[in-house]
């Protein structure tokens, strides 16, 4: 049997839209997602789960009502469940997310940025 790993560079080349996570793998009941971001996302929270961010390329700010964290390539941050936050990036940024399967990208908010269906690449 041949085993093939996931090449993030190849996967990122397969899509160009922003704020639309793509699932690249699953383990147990968690999805591994890649997403390109630029500009500001929406304020939201996830009441039932933490949210894992790992920056692969670019810089990401995660804003909180009382401050922010800035992440550069190779840096990660876990937003605790229930904490309101808003990701943003001045320039295009590539991120890896780990979330329970079925997690809605906008958490407790439904708006134009809400992903309606899971997309695998």
pLDDT reading at 81 higher than 90: yes
Interatomic CA distance for residues 103 and 79, integer angstroms = 14
Q: Which residues contact 54 (CB under 8 A, 6 or more apart)?
A: 75, 76, 95, 96, 97, 98
- Interval 33-45: pLDDT, tens: 999 999 999 999 9
pLDDT reading at 3 higher than 90: no
CB 92 within 8 A of CB 31: no
CB 42 within 8 A of CB 109: yes
CB 53 within 8 A of CB 97: yes
- Kindly state the average pLDDT of the residues 43-56: 96
On whether the 15-100 domain is CATH 2.60.120.10, my answer is: yes
pLDDT reading at 4 higher than 90: no
Q: How does residue 57 score in pLDDT terms, banded at 50, 70 and 90?
A: very high
pLDDT of residue 38: 98
């Amino acid at each position: 049997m041949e085993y093939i790993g996931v090449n993030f560079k190849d996967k990122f080349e397969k899509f160009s839209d922003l704020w639309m996570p793509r699932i690249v793998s699953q383990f147990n009941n968690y999805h591994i997602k890649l997403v390109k971001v630029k500009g500001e996302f929406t304020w939201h929270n996830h009441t039932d789960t933490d949210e894992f961010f790992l920056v692969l390329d670019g810089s990401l700010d995660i804003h909180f009502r009382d401050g922010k964290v800035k992440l550069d390539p190779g840096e990660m941050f876990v937003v605790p469940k229930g904490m309101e936050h808003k990701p943003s990036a001045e320039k295009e940024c590539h991120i890896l997310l780990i979330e329970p399967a079925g997690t809605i990208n906008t958490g407790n908010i439904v708006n134009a940025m809400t992903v309606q269906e899971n997309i695998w690449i």
